Homo-oligomer: A and B are copies of this chain.
Amino acid sequence: MRLSINAVIAIFSLYFQSVNAQSEQIITEDFKPSAVNQPERIFPKVNSQRRVRASISAPNASKVQLDIGGVKYDMRKDDKGVWTGESNPQDEGFHYYQLNIDGASVPDPGSLYFYGAGRLGSGIEIPSSDQDFFALKNVPHGLVSENIYFSKLTNSFRRCFVYTPESYNENTKMRYPVLYLQHGSFEDETGWSAQGKANLILDNLIASKKAVPMIIVMDNGYAYKAQESNSSDKNPKESVFEDVLITEVIPMIDAKFRTIPKRENRAIAGLSMGANQTMRIMMNHLDTFAYYGGFSGTANYPNSDAIDASTFLNGKYKDGNALNKQIKLFWLGLGTKEPAPFPKSIGAFRTMLEQQGIKYDYYESPETAHEWLTWRRCLHQFASKLFK
C-alpha cells in the first residue's frame, strides 16, 4: 500500500493530536497507598503527579465516581465488578473526598475518616515537599486528651481536646503557656489533631527547640445558648462560643492543667471561621490573651471593602500605639491559591492594620488553597513565635 503525502501528513497530524490530547491524561504508574488509609488498605493511592486513584468493589453499580476537589471523575469497572478511577493532579496536602455510587455519596471504605464539610468523610494525603515538619518521628510525643465537660451556657455536654507536651507528665511541677486553637466552618474539635496534625507539629517543633513547650486547647466553635423550655423553636440560635470559651473553658483548663494563667502566657488562633471568631474574642479580651493567629480569615469576612477603623469591631483597632504595646504578636497567614473572597478580604484587613500602624506578621503558604496544608504551615510558623 502506498500513501499520498497528504495522507501521511493527515495521519501524522492525527497521531500528534492524539498524543497531545493524551499527554494531559498520561498517568504515571507509581501510585502508593495514601498515608491516611485504614490499616492494611491499599486504596486509595497517590502518584508522583499527585493524582488520586480510588477503587471499590460495586459489581452491580452502573456508575461510580471519585468526587474530589469539586470534580467528579468517572471510574471504570473491571470484569470482577471492581471500579477504579483517577483524579486530575491535586494540590499538595490533605483533602476531603468521597465516592459516588449510583447517586449515593458515601465515604471510601479504604480511607480513615475526618470531620469536615459537616460530616465524617474520607480524607487523602498528597505528599508535600515540606512534610517533614508534621511527620510522625521518633521524638518525644505529647498526649492529646479528650476532655468532656458540661456547659451551663449551652446546657449540653461539650468536648475539647488538649495537647500536653511530652515534658508535662515528666516534670509535674512545671507550668505551661496555653494556645487556644480553633477549627473552621463545618469542622469540629477533632480537626486540629486529626487532619491538622497539631500534636505532631508541636512535638517536632519542641524537640528541635524551635518552639517552647505549650499546652494547646482545641474546642468546638459551635456553641448555642440553651433555649428556654417555653421559648419558640423559631428563635434563631444565638452563638455563645465567646462566653463558653472565656467563662467556662479557660477557667476549667486553668484548674485542670498546670497552666500559667496570665495573658502573656495565653495565645488564641483559628482557621477560616475560627480566625474570624478568635479575632473578635482576642479584641474583646486583651486582658486574657497577648498573642493572636489568624489563618485564612479575618473578622471582616466575607467583605473586601476598605475598613473604617473608627467603626470596625466597635473601634477596637483605633489606637494602634496602644495595641502595639498590648499585643505581643498579631499574626496572619494565607495560602497563595486561596479563592475569593479570602485574598481580598484579608488584604483589606491588612491595609487597615497598616493605616493604623499596627505591627503584624504575615505569611503566605506556597501553592495551597483554603485547605489543611495551609493551616498546618500556619501553625508551624505561628507556634514557633509564641511565648518568647
Contact = CB atoms under 8 A, between A and B. Distances in A.
B149 A102 contact: no
A143 B107 CA distance: 29
Interface in A101-134: 101-107, 109, 112-113, 119-121
A157 B138 CA distance: 8
A141 interface: yes
A56 interface: yes
Contact of A170 (B101, B162, B256): B256
Contacts of A121: 109
A59 interface: yes
Interface of A: 38-39, 56-64, 81, 99, 101-107, 109, 112-113, 119-121, 136, 138, 141, 143-150, 157, 162, 169-170, 172, 188, 193, 199, 255-258
Given A106-B106, A106-B109, A138-B150, 15 more contacts: A39-B188, A58-B103, A60-B62, A60-B63, A61-B103, A61-B104, A62-B62, A101-B101, A101-B102, A101-B104, A113-B120, A143-B145, A143-B147, A145-B145, A169-B257
A156 to B, nearest CB: 10
A102 B61 contact: yes
Nearest to A61: B102
A138 to B, nearest CB: 5
B157 A148 contact: no
B113 A119 contact: no
B59 A103 contact: yes
Contact of A102 (B58, B147, B188): B58
Nearest to A169: B256
Closest 7 CB pairs of A and B: A58-B104, A61-B102, A60-B102, A59-B103, A60-B103, A143-B145, A145-B145
Q: Which of A58, A105, A143, A257 has the most CB of B within 10 A?
A: A143
A126 to B, nearest CB: 21
Nearest to A148: B141
A144 B146 contact: yes
Given A60-B62, A136-B148, A101 B109 contact: no
Contact of A144 (B107, B109, B145, B170): B145
Contacts of A63: 60
29 contacts: A39-B188, A56-B104, A57-B105, A58-B103, A58-B104, A59-B102, A60-B63, A60-B103, A61-B61, A62-B102, A99-B106, A101-B104, A101-B106, A102-B102, A106-B107, A106-B109, A107-B107, A107-B109, A112-B120, A141-B148, A143-B145, A143-B147, A144-B145, A144-B146, A145-B145, A145-B146, A146-B193, A146-B199, A169-B256
Nearest to A258: B172
Contacts of A107: 106-107, 109, 113
A39 B102 CA distance: 25
A61 B103 CA distance: 7
